[in-house]
Amino acid sequence: MAASHQYDQSIPVPHTQRLSQTIQPGQALSVRGNVLPDAKRAEVNLLSGGTEIGVNAQAVLHVSLRFDEGKIIFNSFQTNGGWGNEERESIPFKKGQNFDLRIRVLDESFEISCDGKKVHEYKHRAPFQSMEYSQIKGDITLTEVQWGGQLYSLPWETGFYDNHLGTGQRIRLYGVPKGDRWILNLIARNGDILFHFNPRFREKVIVRNSRRGNTWEHEEKEGPFPFEKNREFDLIIINDPHSIQMFANNERIGTFQHRTSNPTEDYTGMRIEGELEMTGIKLNI
């Protein structure tokens, strides 16, 4: 198994945060962390009116992770009607292991995914626009809590802050593969492709390469293939002093030795294209 890369910092539990803006369809809450070895229960709540359910708040969505029952419970609490009917699914998360929970807001429902795989669709029982807080508590540790996930049109291209991806800086991409190929390129000022990252689903390989002076160079294909069609992934690209480091879903998937003499300055931009639903991007983190 590939080595784990600890690039996240611990977030105290329980964790409550006020939403900075009205949530729009397509946005998502990403919750990542670890289930405690003796975990019994944890929960994620999307609240309106306050932070205490039944006291001053309604739960637009209540997600209860019941490790003691082997179930995930979905429900809502309304001050004029109390708790509604529960909806249940088997829980895929394991005690003592990492977890990745995503809640995406759609026009008519919440789409809930566990470790990149959709497990439930929960029809709205209250307006999602009324949500003011996210709340997470229980027998887990947290490494990431983030709202985001708008859909991006491809091809998508950007330059890096200060016109370079510096040593130690990284790119974090969230996406869902939808076809046979997609591509991430790191580009130089003159248009050369200094790093070409190309997952190919028919061959089950990730081709890495560079193209300088309109000439493709030596391909590299070794390593695992962690991607699945229609399953969300989390890709980290890190500019280390001697190579590009690659991690998918918190596991190392390869390295690519720099093919430029000045990697601190020469990666100036990025382009993403192909059969991919791109749901989030962080740069220079």
Q: For the chain, give the percent of residues with pLDDT over 70.
A: 95
Residue range 57-103, pLDDT digits in tens:
999 999 999 999 999 999 999 988 899 999 999 999 999 999 999 99
Highest mean pLDDT among 32-41, 140-149, 172-181, 229-238: 32-41
156-283 classified as CATH 3.40.1350.10:
no
Give, for 265, the enclosing helix (H) or strand (E).
helix 263-266
How wide is the angle at C-alpha 200 spanned by C-alphas 197 and 205, nearest 5°? 80
Tokens of 225: 């293939």
DSSP 139-172: SEEEEEEEEE-----SSEEEEPGGGS--TT-EEE
Q: Return the minimum-mean-pLDDT range out of 146-155, 201-210, 253-262.
A: 146-155
Q: Above pLDDT 90, what percent of the chain?
A: 74
Residue 249 has pLDDT above 90, yes or no: no
Tokens of 3: 């080595």
pLDDT at residue 9, as a whole number: 55
Residue type, 247: F
Residue 8 pLDDT > 70, yes or no?
no
What is the distance in angstroms between the CA of the first residue and the CA of the last residue of the chain?
26
Which regions of the chain carry the CATH code 2.60.120.200?
15-148, 156-283
Cα 195 to Cα 8, 96, 153, 218, 262: the distances in Å are 25, 36, 22, 12, 13
Give me the pLDDT at residue 261, please: 94
Q: 285 falls in which pLDDT band (50, 70, 90)?
A: low
Length of the chain: 285
* Of residues 41, 87, 268, 92, the one with CA closest to residue 163: 268
What pLDDT was estimated at residue 232? Answer: 83
- Provide the pLDDT for residue 68: 96
Fold of domain 15-148: Jelly Rolls (2.60.120)
User: What's the confidence (pLDDT) of residue 260?
Assistant: 96
Query: CA 62: distance to chain centroid?
Result: 21
At 129, is the secondary structure helix, strand, or coil?
Answer: helix
Contact 18, 1 (CB under 8 A): no
Residues facing 103 on adjacent strands: 29, 112
Strands 215-216, 251-257: pairing is: unpaired
